[in-house]
Each structure stands twice: as C-alpha cells, then as structure tokens.
Structure 1
Amino acid sequence: MELTTVWFIAIAALWTGYFVLEGFDFGVGMLLRVLGRNEPERRAVITTIGPVWDGNEVWLIVAGGATFAAFPEWYATLFSGFYLPLFAILVTLILRGVALEYRGKRDELWWRGRMDVLITIGSVVPAVLWGITFANLVRGVPLDNSFEYVGSLGDLLSPFALLGGLTFAAVFVAHGAIFLALRTTDDLRRRANALASRAGLIAAVLAIAFLWWAQALRGETASIIVAIVAVVAFAAGLVANLRRREGWAFLGTAVAIGLAVVSLFAAMFPAVMPSTLDPQSTLTTVNAASTPYTLKVLTIIAGIFLPLVILYQSWTYWVFRKRITVDPVPLSSEAPSL
C-alpha cells in the first residue's frame, strides 16, 4: 500500500476518533441547560465530561497537524476556502474551553449561567459547522486549475451541506444524551435516557437522509455497505437505550458515528477535495501529498507515539468510569456590583 493511501486512512481514523469522542462532548454541552434543571444537576452534567473533554480535542489537533504534514496542499486549500467556518469553530471551541474551566471558579449563579451559555454555543456551533464542512468535502467545491478555492461563502451553504450540519448536531445530541444516561444516576439518568430515545429518532431520520444523499453523490459499493452498517448500529443503540442498557447503547452510537465518518472518507477516496468545476482540478491523495521521504518519517513517528496517546486516553476513561451523583451545591445569587 502506498504511503499516500496509508496517511489518508490515518487521517480518516483521526477524524473518526475525534467525532466519536468529541461528539458526546458536544452533545453534553448542548444538553447542559436542557437536562440540568438546577445548579446541582448542571454541575453533575459538566462533571461527566470534566476529566476527558480536553483529551478528546487532542484528536482534532493531531488530525489537523497530520493533514498539514502529510497533505499540505489539502490543508492549504481547505483552510483558505473554509476560512470563515473554521475560524468560527476555533473561536467557539476556545470560548467553550474557557467556560468549562472557569465555570466553577465563582459561586454566583449569574456567573455560572453565563458560562453555561458559552458552553452551549461552543457545542452547537462547532457541531453544525463540522457537518457543513464535511458535507462540502464529499459534495465537492469550486477549485481552479491551481487547486485554489474560487467560490464564496454561499457556495458552502448548499441544501446538502445544511443537512449535514443538522445531522451532525442531532446525532451528537443523541450520543451525548446516551452518554449522560450512562454516567449519571436517579432522575437525571432517567430523563437523559428518555431524551436520548426522542432525539435518537430525529437523528436517525436525518442520518439516513444525509448518508443516502452522500452515497448517491459519490459513493461506491464499499462505502454504501459501511453507511448501511452505520445506520444499523445506530438503530441497535437506540433499541439498547430503550431497554436501559446504556453501555450497549453508547457502544452502538459510537460505532455508528465512526462508521458514518468512515463511509464519507471511503466515498471521497482517492479525492481529498473534489472540484465541482473541472475533474482535473480535483485534489487527490497523490497531488496533495508531501514528498515520499516526509511521509516515511511521519509514519515512523506516528507508529511510536500514537499507540502511547491511545493507551493514555484509554486509561483516563477507565479511571473516571464511575457514575456521577447529583449533590447539593452552596451558591450565591448575588449580582455583580457596579
């Protein structure tokens, strides 16, 4: 197998890991004020992702770095053409991270309420924009003969792209609700379980429509099969959730998200950014790649360090695997003085 193909698979695996792990983070953030009816419940919701959310974002950093190193032309075209949505993702992720870290630094309700708003925005906006971004990668964008993006922001907001944004957000909500049902207790667990069933039905309809459209645009037999298995896994996760088997339910939605992302990358291959203007302008794994020597060095480095990262993160999830209880929290409701 050529190293360009190896690194395409590696980058697809990194994005898959990111969406599986950060997906429930986003879902929890979107549901913070929906399931958290009071401050103790909201603190419990935040605590479920407190030890792991920043580790989950490492997958995004590594995916971006790997793209820059292995496929610099892809990286340059992607970040120049998608500058505004990617910048919005970056800003909202920063705000979300700050809010998660600083939410508990003050006891006033008004302070925590403002941090909750930032967490919600920082979860909704990236989820929707990542869906729009990946939908456009599958559909294709206007590239000229120099592989430069020559479209406008409006070109990124096609009906298919908007469906992708809604689908990503809805699936992450269901994924996050199941995660909360898995990690919490008592009434909060029951409400998360019930919400996961309702949100899951909406997400399933959107996911079927989005994956069908994506495969109709660019899919082949292998990617279509993977997409079908993803839908089956998601349905199995919803059935397990109905039976209050949250562990199996979470596994089902995690596998479904992972396979759905794999199906999108499989549908694209060997293209990394298809051109809607001229097939000759399409960026592929060959014309977007670094030199063979660079790819060889990257392969050695990744072979050494990536297993260590996976082992460390697996250990983190094992250590913080226990359910979170809702405990009373002393608070001050005083408004800030002028």
Structure 2
Amino acid sequence: MTLAPGSTDHQPAPVPTTVPTQVGVLGGGRMGAGIAHAFLVAGAHVTVVERDADAAAAARERVLGAVDTALRLGAIQGERSCYADRLSVATDASAFAGAGLVVEAVPEVVALKTEALRSVEAQLAPDAWLASNTSSLSITELGGVLERPDRFIGLHFFNPVPVSTLIEVVMGEATSPELVGLAAGWVSALGKTPILVRDSPGFASSRLGVAIALEAIRMVEEGVASPADIDAAMVLGYKHPVGPLRTTDLVGLDVRLGIAEHLHSTLGERFAPPQLLRDLVARGDLGRKSGQGFFDWKDAS
C-alpha cells in the first residue's frame, strides 16, 4: 500500500485482508458489474441494484458472463452455480439492508450520485460502510450530503475491473482512519493493490491519465500522427500496456469528456477538452460501447 508524503495522520492500522460477507453494488453497468464480480469471486454475497427489472436482469448476466470468462481462463475455480447462488439483483435500495458495504457505481454526475448515496445510506445499518466508485468527483463533497460521512470513502476501480490490479482509496475530509484501513484490506482481499490518495480533483490516476489522453487527442486534432501511431509511441516507447486513445475508447469518450470538464473547472485551462473530443461525443462516437471512437470496434466481442 502506498501513502502520499505528509499523510501520516491517515495511516491505517493493519487489518485482516477479507471482504465483508454481504456487499451491495448500486449500478450494474460495465463498471458496476465488474465491481460485483470482484467481490463475488472474493467470497462475498453480492446484491446489485438497478433502475428496473430489465436492467437488473442484464446486470446479472453481465456479472455471470465475467464469471464464465474467469472460469474458462482458469482465473477462478469451482462451479458456476456456486457464484450464481451468491449473486442477487434488485430494483430498490432496500435490498441493501443487510449489507456491510455498498459501492455506488452510477454515472459521473454530482446530483445523481448525491441522490443515490442518500437513498442508499437511508437503508443501511449504522455500522455499515459506503463507498463511491467516482473517478474524479470530490469525496468530501459527495460525503457532505450524508448523515455519517465518516463511514464514506472513495474506491476507484479501473476498467476492466477483472484484470485491473489497482484501486485508488480516496480519503475525504471526514473519512475515518478505521475505514481507510479496512478499505485497504478489502482491496488486498480482491487481489489488487491499494494506493491512498487525499481528496483532490481527479485524484492521482484520472488527473494523470486524462492529461495524457487530452494531449493525445490534440495531436490527432492537429494531424501530428494517427491514433494508432500515437498509441504505439506510448506502448512501445513508454511501456504503457494500452495507448491513451484506445484507453479513451474503452473508458468512453463521453466519460472522458465529463471528467475533463470537471478538471477544467477545478484545475484550469490545461484540462480544457479539445474540440475534437466534443465533436466525437456530439455525434455519438463514444468508443467501444458505440462501436466507433478513435478506433473501429464494430467487430469487437
């Protein structure tokens, strides 16, 4: 676990590396399903809550699809039914009543997240913990709407969750040191590495990742090189596993734009979104999920 210099007042005490027995995930899209899968294969009983029955059914299939892939690749052992039996879906936050931890994974909109977090907290036992998967929004601000902000933390998972090895543990101003230690233990129990970050715009990963991606987009805009060649420069020259433009396609150009706009408003002009990014989002070229972004994903599985 990595702790930033000057953060000794939040140094967590060592805790057992286990996950809570009952875990909830609010939102069953790509990220939410990945988070649910991570806790499921770590041994938890997981409940995913979605907006309606169709979305909940799709979320269940998404999670079990990830289980199927992991079983096929030998990444996990056992019978599919053992995982399926520990996974449930619902359409109301009251399904979280018995959860020891709930992770919110709804879109990066402050009003949407604050409303969701309030509704979840109202269903939780007083000793339960609450986390947000936000990649850039202030944990302190989000926690400010809660009755128990000391029991709230940021757990920023990375896409795709099953193969990513990093989770940012983001400490809000009110987050208790006990929760920081517990969260680091949960991350380790998921087989991933926690880094501790103080609440600041973009945290560590989004701030750096977006800065590189925006410059790469500007280079495409200016005709410096093709998206493939720009990505090759970072993969071959700097040993990045995936180039910044392909990563942007995987994250979603709309998501990247939203984060850039937030960082632009909080950190200044160096995060101003390029016009090319705005244009691509406006015409619906959002990356892999739409079939087209900086690369063609129409034949991607």
Normalized per residue, which structure has more strand? 2
Normalised TM-score (structure 1): 0.24
Normalized per residue, which structure has more helix? 1
Normalised TM-score (structure 2): 0.26
Which protein has the larger Cα radius of gyration, Structure 1 or Structure 2? Answer: 1
